Amino acid sequence: MKQRLRDTLSELMMIPGLSGHEDRVRRYLRARLDDLGIASRSDRLGNLIATIEGDPEAPSVMLFAHMDQLGFVVRKVEADGFLRVERLGGVPERALPSQAVLLCVGEGRDLPGVLANKSHHATTPEEKYRVVPYSELYIDIGLASADAVEAAGVRIGTPVIYRPQVIALADDRLAGTSVDDRAGCAAILELAGMLKEKQGLANLHLVFSVQEEFNLRGALPAAQVLQPDIAIQLDLILATDAPDMGGRGDVALGGGPAISLYSFHGRGTLNGVIPHPAMVRLFEETARAESLPLQRSAHIGALTDLSYVQHIGEGVASIDLGFPIRYSHSSLEVCDLNDLEGLVRLLAAALAQIDRNFSLDRDDHS
């Protein structure tokens, strides 16, 4: 399973899919579902939805991960061919100069570029420790005039992403672009292959969602149509075992998958997820019974679509489940394939527990 996860994730990380431009990722995922004999459909926003039919009397489950990644869009083409960009998503400005980027003109026509870093020999002492805001940065694609840029297909609105890359680190760890959340997509694909034959489970809706990095609501239309009783989002959980993360928590890379007990944005958006107690109990008891590791996370500063999905209908029993990640939103995010494998095994075992007797009544869990 680990090798398959490595291959799938590596392929997914190499496919460009800026928020709102997820089509290439969706085509890949649809083809993989087709190979498994699982029918899928997409909605008007671009969400890819597949349903594995089960017991209609059991609470239905929507399991989802987002296909999109953060990046930029071209804001202005300068007369001398340099490009200015607008940011899309939580792009860390500290880590942008000197990055290789890809201008997504169209499949087979994409252009490489460089986010320029001012020549070191011309950098003043005051500039040396200053973070350059993205609005001052520019991209060099090697063309020297606005006309040449236009002829190459680059226009205002062209998507720009970190140049896709995958680096195999030691000990089953992968570094590269858009581990967030292609790792979640890879985990769902793996699980789909395991669950498609199993009967007696609840209706399981697999959703690969759009625009999470943009506005955290791309999965909403899918959830509104599916009206699930339970929603589980697979996405990153911040690993706190890097030297600069001390004190933030107890999540170790390689320590297994994790559940979030509390998330809140904390920067203006009054939203977050406090998971349903039945879901916390389900994953904790399953991990114990299967002798699988399960870590716990609680922190402010990050949200997922689940914050919005939980509020549809009469409320959805929700939980964020995920894989530890280091260096989130940088061009080189790091995850551990053992955590992904643990995540798939835990999910497969937990979903098998959701039958018609599975209660979401709050009073049964107080």
Enumerate residues 229-248 that contact Zn ion by CB under 5 A. 235
Cβ within 8 Å of residue 102, ≥6 positions away:
16, 110, 111, 112, 113, 160, 161, 162, 163, 164
Return d(Cα 324, Cα 113) in angstroms, integer: 30
Give whichever of 141 and 258 is closer to Zn ion, judged by the CB atom. 258
What phi and psi values does residue 63 have, to the nearest 5 degrees? -110, 125
- Is 333 a residue that touches Zn ion (CB under 5 A)? no
Write the interaction track for Zn ion spanning residues 67-106; mark x where CB under 5 A is met and - where it is not: ----------------------------------------
- DSSP secondary-structure letter at 295? E
Give whichever of 22 and 180 is closer to Zn ion, judged by the CB atom. 180
The footprint of Zn ion on this chain (CB under 5 A) covers a number of residues equal to 3
- Is 110 a residue that touches Zn ion (CB under 5 A)? no
What phi and psi values does residue 305 have, to the nearest 5 degrees? -55, -25
- Smallest Cα–Cα separation from 234: which of 324, 364, 126? 324
CB of 217 to Zn ion, least distance (A): 14
Give whichever of 181 and 229 is closer to Zn ion, judged by the CB atom. 181
| Token reading at 69 | 């990644």
Contact 229, 305 (CB under 8 A): no
Write the interaction track for Zn ion spanning residues 122-161; mark x where CB under 5 A is met and - where it is not: ----------------------------------------
Which residue(s) pair with 65 in the sheet? 208
197 in active site: no
Helix (H) or strand (E) holding 168: strand 166-168
Give whichever of 180 and 341 is closer to Zn ion, judged by the CB atom. 180
Give whichever of 235 and 320 is closer to Zn ion, judged by the CB atom. 235
Give whichever of 172 and 181 is closer to Zn ion, judged by the CB atom. 181
Q: Among 21-29, 85-93, 177-185, 358-366, which window interacts with Zn ion (CB under 5 A)?
A: 177-185
Which residue(s) pair with 263 in the sheet? 273, 299
Which residue type occupies 213? Answer: E
Return d(Cα 292, Cα 306) in angstroms, integer: 25
- Is 180 a residue that touches Zn ion (CB under 5 A)? yes
Return d(Cα 137, Cα 362) in angstroms, integer: 51
Handedness of CA 232, 238, 241, 245 (dihedral sign): negative
CB of 133 to Zn ion, least distance (A): 24
Helix (H, G, I), strand (E, B) or coil at 245: coil
- Is 181 a residue that touches Zn ion (CB under 5 A)? yes
Catalytic residue (one of 22, 190, 212, 333): 212
Return d(Cα 332, Cα 345) in angstroms, integer: 26
Contact 285, 197 (CB under 8 A): no
- Is 305 a residue that touches Zn ion (CB under 5 A)? no
Contact 73, 158 (CB under 8 A): yes
Write the interaction track for Zn ion spanning residues 252-291; mark x where CB under 5 A is met and - where it is not: ----------------------------------------
Give whichever of 229 and 333 is closer to Zn ion, judged by the CB atom. 333
CB of 128 to Zn ion, least distance (A): 33
Chain centre distance of CA 94? 21
Catalytic residues: 212
Positions in the binding site for Zn ion (CB under 5 A): 180-181, 235
